[in-house]
Amino acid sequence: MSTTENIHIVLNGPKDWDEWYGMIVRFAKSRNIFPNIDITIPPEDHPELEEPAMPQPRHFRAPDTPNTQGTTDTLQSENAYQYDLCLLSPPELKSFKMAWKMWEYRMTEFHEKQRALHSLGMEMRASIKNFLRLFYAPKDGPYEILRKLQRNCEATERERRDIAVRDEEILERGLRAAGLHVVRDRINRRPLYSEKYSEK
């Protein structure tokens, strides 16, 4: 995760959850890993990041081509792989090369997502208040951490209203302490320019 993408919000509790989780979602979507951390997906349906299977030459051979499996006990897997390649006809070899290039592309994508998930996990742990770390295990990945924290940090509708009311009260005290509430009240009472001249 680059320095411009660091999670600069500390998760202290319900009041920080929406903004903190929003930053994580934005980063995950930008790296194509959001399905891997989406907490709306139940654990039994959660897609794990899986390494693409390397294409095998024997899967591209015609059915009547001899099989190297079990031909000799001393035949090493690498030698068998090379032997299978030699048995491919030109059209089969062409198909195999196309599949190999696709596999290399998917492997690059896999490693990028793997690094992104690792970086996200590190950033998440660094931005979580100490006592909240008790809710998840050290080996948990981003998805597991988010699901466990959601149960303890996501604010209910009543908590959201309480937070909004408290923020308004803090703002009001600040305005009155600075004497700015008078200006605010005058602005609120003054009719809009469009309303003032629409009557003429």
Do residues 101 and 57 both lie within one domain?
yes
pLDDT of residue 125: 92
- 60-64, 110-114, 179-183: the lowest-pLDDT one: 179-183
Range of the domain at 168: 159-198
Do residues 101 and 147 both lie within one domain?
yes
* Phi, psi for residue 128 in degrees, rounded to 5: -100, 130
Could you tell me if 28 and 34 are in contact, meaning their C-beta atoms sit under 8 angstroms apart?
yes
d(CA 117, CA 123): 10
Do residues 38 and 117 both lie within one domain?
yes
Which of 48, 69, 47 has the alpha carbon at shortest distance from 58? 69
Do residues 89 and 188 both lie within one domain?
no
d(CA 125, CA 166): 28
Exposure string (b/e) for 133-172, b if CB count within 10 Å is 16 or more? eeebeeebbbbbbbbbbeeebebeeeeeeebeeeeeeeee
Do residues 44 and 89 both lie within one domain?
yes
Do residues 116 and 182 both lie within one domain?
no
Domain count, the chain: 2
Amino acid (one-letter) located at 50: E
What are 50's two structure tokens? 């899986």
Do residues 111 and 169 both lie within one domain?
no
Residues 165-198: tens digit of each pLDDT? 776 777 777 767 777 666 656 656 555 444 444 4
pLDDT of residue 75: 45
Length of the chain as a residue count: 200
Could you tell me if 102 and 54 are in contact, meaning their C-beta atoms sit under 8 angstroms apart?
no
Do residues 184 and 146 both lie within one domain?
no
User: Exposed, middle or buried by CB within 10 Å (0-12, 13-18, 19+), for 101?
Assistant: exposed
Q: Look at 50 and 174; give whichever has higher pLDDT.
A: 50
Do residues 75 and 129 both lie within one domain?
yes
Residue 78 has pLDDT above 80, yes or no: no
Do residues 27 and 78 both lie within one domain?
yes
Do residues 182 and 137 both lie within one domain?
no
What are 106's two structure tokens? 């998917």
Do residues 113 and 62 both lie within one domain?
yes
